[in-house]
Amino acid sequence: MTAYSTLRFDAARCTGCGDCMTACAVAKTGSDDPGRSRLRVLPGNTPGTWEAAVCRQCGDPRCVSFCPAAALAKDPETGTVEWDGAKCVNCLLCTVGCAYAGIAFDAAAGHVAKCDHCGGNPACAAACGEGALEWMTTARIYNEVGQDEDLFVPGLAGCQGCNTEIVMRHAMRRIGPDCVLATPPGCVPGMGSVGYNGMTGTKVPVFHPLLTNAASMLAGVRRAHKRQGRDVLAVALAGDGGASDVGFQSLSGAAERGEEILFIVIDNEGYMNTGMQRSSCTPFGAWTSTTPVGERGRGKTQDAKNLPLIMVMHECDYVATASTAFMEDFYAKLDRAIAAARHGFAYLHVYSPCTTGWRFPAEKNIEVARRAVECNFVTLWEFTPEAGLRFTRDPDRPRPLADYLSALGKFRHLGADQVGHLERHLAENVKRLRGLAREPAAA
Amino acid sequence: MSGAGPLSPTVPASHPEKRGLLRMTPSLRPGEADMAAVLEKKKPKVIVCDGNEAAAWGVSLANVDMVAVYPITPQSSLVEYVAKFVADGRLKADIVDVEGEHSVLSVLQGGMLAGARTYTATCGPGLAFMFEPYLRTPGLRMPMVMSIVTRDTLSPQSVWGGHQDAMSVREAGWIQLYCETVQEVLDTVVMAYRIAEHHDVMLPVNVCHDGNYLSYGASRVELPEQADVDAFLGAKDVNWHVALDPTRPMGVDPLTGGAGGPGPRMFVKYRKGQCRGMQNALAVIEEAHAEWNRHVGRWHAPLIEPYRMEDARFALVTLGSMTGAAKDAVDEARGAGVSVGLVKVKTYRPFPLKAIAAALAPVEAVGVIDRSVDFGFDCGPLYKDVLGALAGLPRRIPARSFIGGLAGADITVGHVQRVIGEVAELAASGTPGPTAWLNERD
């Protein structure tokens, strides 16, 4: 089943101000009468809470099946249920079919009206000052990239629900076959991408560098092809340990020299392939197999190294952070990173929740990735030397950190003092980034 | 002397230089008419340079595509010369100024896998830092060339010459060639590419030249003609067997081995292939030296050089620049009626077991001079290897280990005279004494 972009309503953030309804009315009718909005924010069952009544753009829409005139139809491209005024016979049967109050009679207009997502740029979400309404664009990207060739074999041996495999497959779909791929030891080759005993798991030239030298080897690969007049993209899919710890020297050296490399770090906050040991990207307080919890041990006692920010200080041609919960953002950055890697060092840091090492159910992976961003545990931004640093998602009004920490077994033991430390650290991090940012976050 | 090629164990015994490092390699084997014709035809360009500059000339003549550099004493001036040659446009190579020796070799591995002919040089702590990619180079059958400007290892802290660095990696799978003279450094760097890239070999080569004594010792050097070198080396073909190239996509170095399935036999196949490449190298090294002589008109002994071994009652075995002083001492001893000869080892890995056994078979005692230490056996490593060669002979030949020239110390004619005296006694007694340390009372 195809997934589509959609409106997301977060009741916990809604204050009932009604700005969304006014914006909808203006956008759709020209009137600022919130009564004409196609979205209704209504008091919830509990006093002080709010609910949103709006078209769900159902997969199997009842309004469509109830309509005797074929005036309603689900657009297979956008997923939006579209109303066609030329066919409508004003029987209102659609309003009977919908259980969500997603389509209603607009007396002033004289016909039914429903949300059409404003063609992919909904006015309500833009008007919401609380972040309660958001346009979630994740889905469309799958429709766009679905036709790109998957450059890994089926059945890579990642853990169930592995986020790293998602990053690998999407990144390589976009990069395409005219490249050389380095996968330093870790989960990426561990799941079989380079292969075993004479067989390979990848359709492009792929190799095991050492844990220490992916950036150096790729520098040689890129330069040798360039000498031969060929533009072969040099790509690394590296873990955080190989990049931030033992591989950091070669990474820093290649970045300083401006080697033409696309270096993608898949950050699962530790040596997960080797048995979930601590790396310098492991966050404060986290359980790992080398920062165990016991009588005295309370997890890692140091904050994570901020590797992407360190790469910014190298003045790389492109640096960005990304998350698989925000795929359009990820793809947009991937495109810019690919372009940058043809003239300089491009660095992409993708956060990759690890179901095995972080101790949460496999099906929660994208949810964990999303909460990490919503709680500012992970911030999404990009940097170029020309434009400076820019948030691609506003870090204002984060969700409570507890929403993220409570989802993960590796933080189960945290005391209030440790949570407080993390909160202060994350706030400092946002403050530091904001100090570097030259322009406000993208809308 | 075993193997093919126009070989002669004899060279003129007149060497006026006081120090071995200034010794000239004889250009031609005497009495060969076609070689005389070559000499007649070619008026070589002559320069005066040290071993580090000579190596850089070799790199330039070999048309290397990619050089990665990082400075370390006593190698630094070598990479400075290479950088200057690139800056002057003489050498049209990519020069990569990396952040350490680990990346030096790593950049070159990437370049080689994408088709580049590569070069670098290091020594001592730099070689130690490079160890991780160094170990991998022969296993991936990478035909790379790296000079080791030999230096003693830490600690005690030291920046001076000694073979301990190269000796510490002697079982890593690289071919190791030791040079005696500055001229031999230049010639061997070029020859190393023909050896490394030979399809029967496909292994990396270390061209070792002694820190201080060869790195900084200046000498008369003949520059080969570029056209002769080009004809000698032929076309580059470094990654026909393994490549990182989208037109030939492959998984390079997948996990191989394990306890079951096809892994164990695949791993054995690769390891045995590596051993076969090393053994093939013995003949290829001989062929390369013969071809160098044919194209350039200069002869160097490829595996070992027996010197005044005719009718020798006992023999010295040497490695590297110490050979110059040792030859002088042998000449003097011969002049005094002592029947001593010398076997210089040029090809140390693969170890030319048969050639050494054949050269030493007639003698009554052997003294091996090492510029490094084998800690496990309380002797010199070359000595231990020579014992291995002697063990295969039907008659027991007593041998003794001598260690000298550590951390920059000189091995003088006087030291070698002492060795000759000890070996003469050994020939009489048949009972080797313990390892002798030549500079212990300097």
Residues pairing with A323 in the sheet: A351
Question: Which of A196, A230, A260 has the highest number of chain B CBs within 10 A, making it the mutation to test binding with B?
Answer: A196
Task: Inspect the interface and report whether the beta carbons of B262 and A216 lie closer than 8 Å.
Answer: no
**Number of neighbouring beta carbons within 10 Å of residue B411:** 29
Residue A68 belongs to what domain range? Answer: 6-136
Q: Is the pLDDT of residue B327 over 80?
A: yes
A335 falls within a domain:
yes
Contacting residues of B for A228, CB less than 8 Å apart = 114-115
Task: Inspect the interface and report whether the beta carbons of B136 and A228 lie closer than 8 Å.
Answer: no
Contacting residues of A for B249, CB less than 8 Å apart = 177, 202-206
A351 falls within a domain:
yes
- What CATH number is associated with residue A360? 3.40.50.970
Considering the domain architecture, whether residues A113 and A185 belong to the same structural domain is answered as no
Task: Inspect the interface and report whether the beta carbons of B254 and A194 lie closer than 8 Å.
Answer: yes
Measure the CA–CA gap between A194 and A134, rounded to whole angstroms: 40
Considering the domain architecture, whether residues A82 and A167 belong to the same structural domain is answered as no
A261 falls within a domain:
yes
pLDDT at B44: 82
Q: Which of A115, A136, A157 represents a domain boundary (last residue)?
A: A136
pLDDT at A439: 61
Task: Inspect the interface and report whether the beta carbons of B102 and A196 lie closer than 8 Å.
Answer: no
A143 falls within a domain:
no
B44 touches chain A (CB under 8 A): no
Please state the ipTM of this predicted complex. Answer: 0.89
Task: Inspect the interface and report whether the beta carbons of A207 and B252 lie closer than 8 Å.
Answer: yes
Q: Which of A92, A116, A136 represents a domain boundary (last residue)?
A: A136
A360 falls within a domain:
yes
pLDDT at A140: 67
Measure the CA–CA gap between B151 and B160, rounded to whole angstroms: 6
Measure the CA–CA gap between A380 and A308, rounded to whole angstroms: 11
End-to-end, the C-alpha distance of chain A in Å comes to 30
Q: Of A248-262, A361-375, B36-50, B83-97, give the lowest mean pLDDT range.
A: B36-50
State the average pLDDT over residues B171-185.
98
Mean pLDDT over each residue of chain B, to the nearest integer? 92
pLDDT at A198: 87
pLDDT at A12: 87
Considering the domain architecture, whether residues A91 and A155 belong to the same structural domain is answered as no
Considering the domain architecture, whether residues A75 and A47 belong to the same structural domain is answered as yes
State the average pLDDT over residues B17-22.
34
Q: How confident is the model at residue B24 (pLDDT cuts 50, 70, 90)?
A: very low
C-alpha dihedral over B81, B82, B88, B89, to 10 degrees? 160
Contacting residues of A for B136, CB less than 8 Å apart = 210
Measure the CA–CA gap between A224 and A214, rounded to whole angstroms: 15
Question: Which of A207, A211, A230, A251 has the highest number of chain B CBs within 10 A, making it the mutation to test binding with B?
Answer: A207
Considering the domain architecture, whether residues A299 and A398 belong to the same structural domain is answered as yes
Q: How confident is the model at residue B11 (pLDDT cuts 50, 70, 90)?
A: very low
Considering the domain architecture, whether residues A113 and A215 belong to the same structural domain is answered as no
pLDDT at B41: 58
Task: Inspect the interface and report whether the beta carbons of A213 and B111 lie closer than 8 Å.
Answer: no
Q: Is the pLDDT of residue B134 over 60?
A: yes
Q: What is the pLDDT of residues B301-311, one digit of tens each?
A: 999 999 999 99
Range 188-207 of A in CB contact (< 8 A) with B: 189, 194-207
- What CATH number is associated with residue A101? 3.30.70.20
Considering the domain architecture, whether residues A31 and A90 belong to the same structural domain is answered as yes
pLDDT at A136: 80
Sequence-distant (≥ 6) Cβ neighbours of residue A176 within 8 angstroms: A148, A149, A151
Q: Give the distance, in angstroms, between the CA of residue B82 and the centroid of all CA atoms in the same chain.
A: 20
Task: Inspect the interface and report whether the beta carbons of A196 and B255 lie closer than 8 Å.
Answer: yes
Range 263-292 of A in CB contact (< 8 A) with B: none
**Closest chain A CA to residue B250:** A205
Considering the domain architecture, whether residues A128 and A179 belong to the same structural domain is answered as no
Considering the domain architecture, whether residues A162 and A252 belong to the same structural domain is answered as yes
**Contact between A134 and A121 (Cβ < 8 Å):** no
Considering the domain architecture, whether residues A110 and A167 belong to the same structural domain is answered as no
DSSP A222: H
Considering the domain architecture, whether residues A84 and A154 belong to the same structural domain is answered as no
Considering the domain architecture, whether residues A91 and A228 belong to the same structural domain is answered as no
pLDDT at A144: 77
Sequence-distant (≥ 6) Cβ neighbours of residue B28 within 8 angstroms: B35, B36, B39, B297, B298, B299
Q: pLDDT per position in chain A (443 positions), as tens?
A: 467 888 989 898 899 999 999 999 999 999 999 999 999 999 999 999 999 999 999 989 999 999 999 999 999 888 999 999 999 999 999 999 999 999 999 999 999 999 999 988 999 999 998 889 988 865 667 777 888 999 999 989 999 999 999 999 999 999 999 999 999 999 999 999 999 998 999 999 999 999 999 999 999 999 999 999 999 999 999 999 999 999 999 999 999 999 999 999 999 999 999 999 999 999 999 999 999 999 999 999 999 999 999 999 999 999 999 999 999 899 999 999 999 999 999 999 999 999 999 999 999 999 999 999 999 999 999 999 999 999 999 999 899 999 999 999 999 999 999 999 999 999 999 999 999 997 655 44
Task: Inspect the interface and report whether the beta carbons of A249 and B99 lie closer than 8 Å.
Answer: yes
User: How far from A157 is each of A89, A170, A183, A196, CA to CA, in Å?
Assistant: 56, 17, 15, 12
The count of structural domains within chain A is 2
For chain B, domains (ranges, CATH) are 20-240+275-296 (3.40.50.970), 306-437 (3.40.50.920)
A141 falls within a domain:
no
